[in-house]
Amino acid sequence: MSGVVLLHGLGSSPRAWARVLPLLSPHVDRILVPRLVPVTTVEDEARRVAVQLEQRPCVLVGHSMGGLVATALAEQYPNLVERLILINTPPTAESRISARGVSERLLRLPALGPALWRVMPDSFAAKGLASAFAPGFAVPEIFVQDLRATGLKTFLRSTDAIDTYLRHQALPGRLTTLACPTHALFGLRDQRVDPTSADAFRAVPHATVTTLPDAGHTPPWEAPSAVATAVLTPGG
**Local structure of residue 14 (DSSP, 8 states):** G
Q: What is the pLDDT of residue 166?
A: 98
Q: What is the pLDDT of residue 110?
A: 79
Q: What is the pLDDT of residue 37?
A: 81
Q: What is the pLDDT of residue 38?
A: 64
Q: What is the pLDDT of residue 27?
A: 96
Q: Could you read off the pLDDT tens digit of each residue along the chain, which spans 236 residues?
A: 789 999 999 999 999 999 999 999 999 999 999 999 866 899 999 999 999 998 899 999 999 999 999 999 999 999 999 999 999 999 999 999 977 766 777 777 777 777 777 878 888 888 889 999 999 999 999 999 999 998 888 889 999 999 999 999 999 999 999 999 999 999 999 999 999 999 999 999 999 999 999 999 999 999 999 999 999 998 76
Q: What is the pLDDT of residue 207?
A: 95
Q: How many CB atoms lie within 10 A of CB 29?
A: 9
Q: Are the C-beta atoms of 95 and 193 separated by less than 8 Å?
A: yes
> Burial level of 187, CB count in 10 A (0-12/13-18/19+)?
buried
What domains does the chain contain, in order, with CATH numbers?
3-96+155-232 (3.40.50.1820)
